[in-house]
């Protein structure tokens, strides 16, 4: 990741770098693992199955405000930044990371660009960035099924490096591209598979009460308290 930033800004960094100067507010590296980036982006920036949908965001805002005293939050794969904006309005220091420029290209961002970064979470390790455990909680909804199985460990290495706790949805139903279907879902696994993967990072807690009432029929919610 440091090398990517050094090449982007044509400079050399001595030691760890300040992500708020060079990371947030920029397009670092767009996702390369999707079959059709526009298909992925349109669905996630406009769809009811994401935190861009106000009723879903309401549930998550309420939960975070009631259960976290820390102020630092990042929404990974947060599309246009709606959940982050709602949390900023409530006094949190929230950031949004997404893997595609659809929101910028179409002037759809709900938050200031200084709180937003476009970056592929599996483009490299984040441990050269100076935000180890900076975020009290990270979130990722309707994201993990889009990440190829070969990349999922690096994804969670990065998530666990930068956040103390993590709340995510996991897609446990339907089909993925490994089954011979044309879809940008690449990693549909059982709930047990996800729990087995995530338990290496810390304590895994099932969170059925977070599931919105509609639009998430094939998803489960998990919370991970990182080691």
pLDDT at 47: 63
Between the alpha carbon of residue 62 and those of residues 8, 56, 82, 107, 120, the distances in Å are 38, 10, 14, 28, 28
Contact call for residues 218 and 171 (beta carbons, < 8 A):
yes
Contact call for residues 162 and 170 (beta carbons, < 8 A):
no
Which alpha helices (H) appear in the chain, and where do they start and end? 2-9, 19-22, 37-46, 54-67, 82-89, 102-105, 152-162, 191-198
Alpha carbon 132 to chain centroid, angstroms: 16
pLDDT per residue as tens, the chain (227 positions):
999 999 999 999 999 999 999 999 999 999 887 777 777 777 777 666 678 888 899 999 999 999 999 999 999 999 999 999 999 999 999 999 999 999 899 999 999 999 999 999 999 999 999 999 999 999 999 899 999 999 999 999 999 999 999 999 999 998 889 998 888 889 999 999 999 999 999 999 999 999 887 778 889 999 999 99
Task: Spell 137-155 as b/e; 16+ CB within 10 A means b.
Answer: bbbbbbbbbbbeeebbebb
Fold that domain 2-226 belongs to in CATH:
Rossmann fold (3.40.50)
Alpha carbon 198 to chain centroid, angstroms: 15
pLDDT at 190: 95
pLDDT at 160: 98
pLDDT at 127: 95
Q: Cα(226)–Cα(163) distance, rounded to whole angstroms? A: 8
- Domain definitions of the chain by residue range: 2-226
Q: Nearest-CA neighbor of 142 among 53, 208, 205?
A: 53
Q: Cα(52)–Cα(50) distance, rounded to whole angstroms? A: 5
Q: Compute the Cα dihedral for 23, 28, 34, 36 and give only its sign.
A: positive
3-state secondary structure of 187: coil
């Amino acid at each position: 990741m440091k090398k990517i930033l050094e090449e982007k800004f044509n400079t050399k960094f001595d030691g760890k770098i300040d992500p708020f100067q060079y990371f947030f507010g920029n397009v670092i590296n767009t996702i390369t693992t999707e079959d059709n980036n526009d298909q992925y982006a349109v669905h996630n920036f406009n769809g009811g199955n994401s935190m861009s949908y106000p009723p879903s965001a309401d549930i998550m805002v309420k939960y975070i405000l009631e259960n976290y005293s820390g102020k630092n939050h990042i929404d990974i794969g947060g599309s246009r930044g709606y959940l982050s904006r709602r949390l900023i309005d409530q006094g949190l220091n929230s950031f949004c990371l997404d893997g595609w420029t659809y929101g910028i290209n179409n002037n759809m961002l709900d938050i200031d660009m200084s709180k937003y970064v476009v970056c592929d979470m599996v483009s490299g390790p984040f441990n050269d960035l100076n935000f180890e455990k900076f975020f009290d909680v990270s979130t990722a909804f309707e994201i993990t099924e889009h990440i190829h199985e070969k990349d999922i460990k690096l994804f969670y290495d990065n998530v666990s490096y930068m956040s103390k706790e993590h709340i995510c949805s996991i897609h446990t139903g339907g089909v993925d591209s490994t089954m011979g279907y044309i879809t940008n879902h690449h990693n549909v696994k059982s709930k047990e598979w996800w729990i087995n993967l995530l338990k290496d990072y810390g304590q895994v807690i099932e969170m059925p009460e977070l599931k919105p009432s509609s639009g998430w029929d094939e998803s489960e919610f998990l919370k991970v308290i990182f080691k």
